[in-house]
Amino acid sequence: MSKNNKNNDPQTKIPLHPQKRSFFASLAWGFVVFVIILGLLESLAGTNLLNRVFKTRSVGNYHTQFEIKWFALQDYVQKYHGVDVVFLGNSMVNTGIDPVQFEDTYYSLSGEKLRVFNFGVEGLTVEPLSVLAQLINERYHPGTIILVTEMRDYIAGNGAEVTAQFMDNPWMRYQMGIPSLEGYLIEHTSFIKYLLAWRNWSSANFLDDLRTVIYRQGNVTPQGYEPDENQAVFDPSQPMVIDPTQRDKFQLAANFEIDPSRALNLQEIISLNTTGTHTIVTEMPVYPTYFSYFGPDSVRAQYLQDLGAMVEKAGGVFVPAVSYDLIPLHGRVDDHHLNALGAPIYSELLAKQLYTACANHQTCIYPALTNRQP
């Protein structure tokens, strides 16, 4: 009998080694799995579940108040099918303009119901506001953008650090036309926006910071207004150079002149007129002591003359601030911020002022041309 040949024995199984996948095949499968998981998570983002769990959203910008306003505007447009008027400015706008009061007053005078949003953001000068105006215009196409500007907007270097941090993130660079996968995913996936709000979870101050964001988010109305409930008595006394608490303000405003690059930022905002969005430039009715930091009255007078000329040359319309004495002292937090009592008063006055300007054929508020709410 011949010896068994194990290699020829059909009962003998030869061990098989699994075929190795190529690097690119593994990468492709990983990408497919990632897309499937992301798709499932994204489907949850359309429900209230993620909002209940994460509480807030982020695009990875350091300026959390900007993010609160950005998502509030997104939600507002989604609910009301568009926005007609966007107020743009710094903290003075944030706490100083009540869109509901403005809407109601304008409607009572004109019979036109406008959709108005307050996009005032603390610390932003005309430099980052020029970028923000472009983003809002491209995405939401409001009929009118009202820029509420002030003298500090045009001081060279003022707010430069805030601007640098505001612009330095993948999402903002993506908005500016600089492509990246990270920027793309942040822009187009809702779930990642919820995750980004928790990106600093390992920080010792994270929970305190998160609570602050959630608290402020709850205080902002659906139309972007953040009332300041501070009703302490405002002291209208003249600031003094020798006061150490005022020294930085005097140094900032000393030798005031309009920086050419900031003038260009203003022109960029006004140039949105060419896209069909009307732009109006105005100022808040600050208390006169605020201008003491800038020197003699002649400095303020020259600024107003130059500002009006710049706006007119760029094709815009400058509407001077209403008289400061129409706002009672108990409606002010300090010499340039209004509280929850002063904001409705000013908003009513501004609506009347702009209605009169239209009646006198000076300038008008225009609603959005598309997506009008029935």
In a domain, 312, yes or no: yes
Q: Is residue 23 in some structural domain?
A: no
Measure Cα distances from 9 to 5, 16, 17, 109, 153 in Å.
Answer: 6, 16, 20, 100, 90
Q: What tokens does 242 get?
A: 């020798």
Residue 371 counted as domain residue: no
- On whether the CB atoms of residues 195 and 59 are closer than 8 A, the answer is no
At 191, the pLDDT band (50, 70, 90 cuts) reads confident
Q: CA angle, 281 as apex, 166 and 133 as ends, to 5°?
A: 35
Number of domains in the chain: 1
Domain assignment of residue 37, yes or no: no
Q: Would 88 be classed as within a structural domain?
A: yes
Report CA-CA distances (Å) from 15 to 7, 20, 73. 12, 15, 64
Judge whether 366 lies within some domain.
Answer: no
- Judge contact between 286 and 324, C-beta under 8 A: yes
The CATH number linked to 207 is 3.40.50.1110
Whole-prediction pTM value? 0.87
Count of Cβ atoms closer than 10 Å to residue 68 Cβ: 23
pLDDT, averaged across the chain: 90
Greater confidence, 115 or 8? 115
102 — pLDDT class (breaks 50, 70, 90):
very high
- Residue 252 pLDDT greater than 60, yes or no: yes
pLDDT of residue 105: 99
Domain that holds residue 147: 53-359
| pLDDT tens-place string over residues 296-327 | 999 999 999 999 999 999 999 999 999 999 99
Give dist(CA 239, CA 288) in Å, integer. 11
| pLDDT reading at 372 higher than 50 | no
Rounded to whole angstroms, the maximal C-alpha distance in the chain is 122
In a domain, residue 205? The reply is: yes
Residue 365 is assigned to a structural domain of this protein? no
Exposure class string for 268-293: b at 16+ Cβ within 10 A, else e: bbbbbeeeebbbbbbbbbbbebbbbb
Least confident of 48-62, 147-161, 267-281: 48-62
pLDDT digits (tens, 9 = 90+) for 13-40: 555 555 555 555 555 655 555 555 556 5
Length of the chain: 374
Query: Worst-scoring range by mean pLDDT, 53-57, 78-82, 136-140?
Result: 53-57
